[in-house]
Amino acid sequence: MTAVLFACMTITVFLTSLLSGIFGMAGGMILLWVLFFLVPVATAIAVHGMVQMVSNGSRAWFSRDYLDLRILAILTAGLFSAALLLFVVAYRPSLVVVSIVIGLMPVLVWLPVKRLELDASKPLHAYACGFISGGLAISVGVSGPSIDIFFIRTGMDRRTIIATKAAIQFLTHATKVAFYWDAALTLSSEGWLAVVAAVPIAVLGTRSGNLILQRMTDANFRAWTRWIVTGIGAVYFVSGLMQLA
């Protein structure tokens, strides 16, 4: 990894952690897209998981006073069920499939969630959320809006949403790293150095984003999230189609 790529990696980690600190997602989607240009897809997902563990873990810690432990426990049960299923079928990712699936994820933020009546505060819904979002995160690298559609109707304020989502995403990324650990071992020494350097940068970006979050209204938080995720998804989808062609 050259000095230029190393610099790009560290800058990207800061900016994407900042974005995730504000909106609870989107940043991870951008980081994974950059990683696809640097390493093979399975290795990219593993590295993405390492960095996002720090980003989401620090975000959960900064918002720990608002964490809903009951919902987190049920989400985790769904996550582990999805991981076990993918392990049994010996799943391995394809760059084309990953790009197209991530590109289609923003459709979820435009669904009429009020009619679907999804609510993460209900045990069955929380389990489904953990299973679906966990399965997507392990299979394509990110879960995107698949978590959000279950939280929109919970009645939580933005701080509780961010804290609970950050906690389950921390566990999800840890599971993802374990799932692709063999691919992670193929990283060069320069690659491991970049991951280590990204750790404090991810914390700094997350902390900065958390400070901005406290000054946002709930309405602006939800509106901006939709459009940012949709734009990122469009880039992924077009990229996937180009690779397919």
The per-residue pLDDT of the chain, averaged, comes to 82
* 8 or 234, which is more confident: 234
- pLDDT (tens digit, 9 = 90+) per residue, 36-55? 888 899 999 999 898 888 87
Residue 169 has pLDDT above 60, yes or no: yes
pTM of the model: 0.79
Quote the domain boundaries for residue 205.
3-244
User: Given this model, what pLDDT does residue 73 score?
Assistant: 95
Please tell me the total count of domains within the chain.
Answer: 1
DSSP string for 131-169: HHHHHHHHHHS--GGGTHHHHTTS---HHHHHHHHHHHH
- pLDDT (tens digit, 9 = 90+) per residue, 6-30? 677 777 778 777 776 666 556 777 7
